[in-house]
């Protein structure tokens, strides 16, 4: 519920992944009305308080959903995008410069940086100007340039750093027109999902979090941010991360 007792309106993009679905469930627990957008088919156990939108995964597919929500005059209180890509089949994070390929680098930037900011562009007509709204894009701590002490993971690191810059730049622009809006990139911590599964053997047990735990933390970060903090890069506990 919102502070005024109205039902909170939430959009979760990338709702079919482990963390995305946990975010849907977290906000349903909080009494919100959830618009869940995913490339995957609607799950059979989806509660009535959530509406599922299956998309192709292209920018045009997401734009169609946003247009439909706009026709309903839907203005969200919270938007969270869990879109992101790290590995698939033969493509793994590049540990050495010899492993870099143009195709893999372009894919990292397309999914981790270009698509999120173009979704922000498409969302703009839905974003309220007269009441608070928080829009979070999930990012990664390894996208911090100043915190990079280990090297490796070239494309993933660079695309996540680009995401930070794109959101920071957008926040400056939106501050002029959407004064109650907070844009933020949030690192959820290493979460037990398919994205992190190949790399979990190196993670200490107390540093690997369940999807439910990460979703609860992300929702708490969203709840605590203010428009004055728009453009920031945040850890899952609400503390700022360096760019």
Q: Which domain CATH number covers 196?
A: 3.40.50.720
What does DSSP assign to residue 240? B
Helices (H) and strands (E) in the chain, counts: 6, 7
Q: What's the pLDDT at 57?
A: 86
- Residue range(s) defining the domain that contains residue 147: 9-234
What is the Rg, in whole angstroms, of the alpha carbon atoms belonging to the chain? Answer: 17
pTM for the full model?
A: 0.92
Contacts by residues 191-198 (CB-CB < 8 Å, ≥ 24 positions apart): 191/18, 191/19, 192/18, 193/17, 193/18, 193/19, 194/17, 194/18, 195/17, 195/18, 195/84, 195/85, 195/86, 195/87, 196/86, 198/87, 198/92
Over the stretch 103-116, which tens digit does the pLDDT of each residue have? 999 999 999 999 99
Contact between 211 and 22 under an 8 Å Cβ cutoff? The reply is yes
Domain count, the chain: 1
Q: What's the pLDDT at 69?
A: 97
Give a yes or no: residue 113 inside a domain. Answer: yes
Q: What's the pLDDT at 76?
A: 97
Give a yes or no: residue 239 inside a domain. Answer: no
Q: What's the pLDDT at 196?
A: 47
Q: What's the pLDDT at 6?
A: 84
Give a yes or no: residue 210 inside a domain. Answer: yes
How far is Cα 63 from Cα 82, in angstroms, rounded to an integer?
17
Give a yes or no: residue 2 inside a domain. Answer: no
pLDDT at 208 over 90: no
111-123: average pLDDT: 98
Over the stretch 43-98, which tens digit does the pLDDT of each residue have? 999 998 999 999 998 999 999 999 999 999 999 999 999 999 998 878 999 999 99
Sheet of 9-13, strands arranged across: 50-54, 33-38, 9-13, 78-81, 133-138, 181-186, 232-234
Percent of the chain exceeding pLDDT 70 equals 91
How far is Cα 133 from Cα 150, in angstroms, rounded to an integer?
36
Give a yes or no: residue 140 inside a domain. Answer: yes
Give a yes or no: residue 199 inside a domain. Answer: yes
Give a yes or no: residue 1 inside a domain. Answer: no
Q: What's the pLDDT at 103?
A: 96
Contacts by residues 45-50 (CB-CB < 8 Å, ≥ 24 positions apart): 50/24
pLDDT at 198 over 60: no
Contact between 170 and 205 under an 8 Å Cβ cutoff? The reply is no
Residue corresponding to tokens 């990292």: 108
Q: What's the pLDDT at 206?
A: 62
Q: Give the chain's mean pLDDT.
A: 92
Give a yes or no: residue 3 inside a domain. Answer: no
- Torsion from C-alpha of 211, 107, 66, 128, nearest 10 degrees: 70
Q: DSSP readout, 28-72?
A: HHTT-EEEEEESSPPPTT--TTEEEEE--SSHHHHHHHHHHHHHT
């Amino acid at each position: 519920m919102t502070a005024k007792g109205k039902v909170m309106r939430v959009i979760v993009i990338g709702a079919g992944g482990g963390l995305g679905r946990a975010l849907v469930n977290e906000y349903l627990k909080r009494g919100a009305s959830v618009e869940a957008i995913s490339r995957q088919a609607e799950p059979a156990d989806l509660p009535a308080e959530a509406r599922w939108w299956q998309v192709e995964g292209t920018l045009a597919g997401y734009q169609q959903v946003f247009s439909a929500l706009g026709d309903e005059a839907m203005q969200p209180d919270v938007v969270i995008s869990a879109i992101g890509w790290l590995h698939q089949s033969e493509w793994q994070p590049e540990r050495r410069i010899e492993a870099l390929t143009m195709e893999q680098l372009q894919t990292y930037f397309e999914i981790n940086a270009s698509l999120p900011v173009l979704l922000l562009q498409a969302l703009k007509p839905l974003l309220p100007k007269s009441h608070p709204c928080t829009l979070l894009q999930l990012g990664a701590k390894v996208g911090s340039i100043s915190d990079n002490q280990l090297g490796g993971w070239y494309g993933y690191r660079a695309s996540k750093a680009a995401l930070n810059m794109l959101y920071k730049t957008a926040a400056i622009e939106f501050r002029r027109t959407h004064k109650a809006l907070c844009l933020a990139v949030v690192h959820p911590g290493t979460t037990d999902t398919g994205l992190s599964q190949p790399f979990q053997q190196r993670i200490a047990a107390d540093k690997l979090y369940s999807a439910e735990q990460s979703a609860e933390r992300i929702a708490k970060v969203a709840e605590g941010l203010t428009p004055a903090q728009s453009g920031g890069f945040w850890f899952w506990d609400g503390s700022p991360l360096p760019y």
